[in-house]
Amino acid sequence: MTAFAADPAFDAGSLAVTDWPLCQVRLQDDARFPWLILIPRVPGRVEIEDLSPEDRTRFLDEGLRAGALVRQMGEVLERPVDKLNLAALGNVTAQLHLHVIGRRRDDPVWPDPVWGRGTPQPWPDVERETLMAIIRAA
């Protein structure tokens, strides 16, 4: 059996923080948005339909868990989330993954999609460490 490895493309813009029962949880390194990426630790999966029925349910459950966490991150940052976006696009990186993004009506690219809009702003060290601690504790 092939061991799980996140596509190296994820390392360019996100940080691996912890593992949940199914997914590796990553923090997107863009302080404009509270944003998590979930990558199922099941090698070779590209589409949600590639997961077993049990893992599909777990994937959705972990996506909802991540959504609650993204909302919590927004509160801690004193930038409450107005809209939660969940997206499994995979146009750039085919490995199955789910973006969980907190959006605000006053964020720099609202109402446009976040991809390819503006310049990502890396998290300041203190905020990054705070968010990573929250993610690990969830």
Q: What is the distance between the alpha carbons of residues 129 and 138, in angstroms, rounded to a whole number?
A: 14
The verdict on residue 1 lying in a domain is no
Find, among 20, 99, 105, the residue nearest to 67 by Cα. Answer: 99
Domain that holds residue 85: 11-137
ω into residue 80 within 30 of 0, thus cis?
no
pTM over 0.75: yes
Q: Is residue 4 part of a domain?
A: no
Q: Report d(CA 37, CA 23) in Å as an integer.
A: 9
What value does the mean pLDDT of the chain take? 96
On whether residue 62 sits in a domain, the answer given is yes
Is residue 3 in some structural domain?
no
Q: What is the CATH number of the domain that holds 23?
A: 3.30.428.10
Residue 26 lies in a domain: yes
Q: Is residue 76 part of a domain?
A: yes
- With cut-offs at 50, 70 and 90, classify the pLDDT of residue 1: low
Is residue 2 included in any domain, yes or no? no
Considering the domain boundaries, does residue 108 fall inside one?
A: yes
pLDDT tens-digit readout, 9-57: 999 999 999 999 999 999 999 999 999 999 999 999 999 999 999 999 9
Scanning the structure block, which residue is given the tokens 């630790």?
41
| DSSP per position, 80-108 | --SEEEEE---SS--S--EEEEEE-TTST
Domain count, the chain: 1
Residues contacting residue 11 through CB under 8 Å, at least 6 positions apart:
none
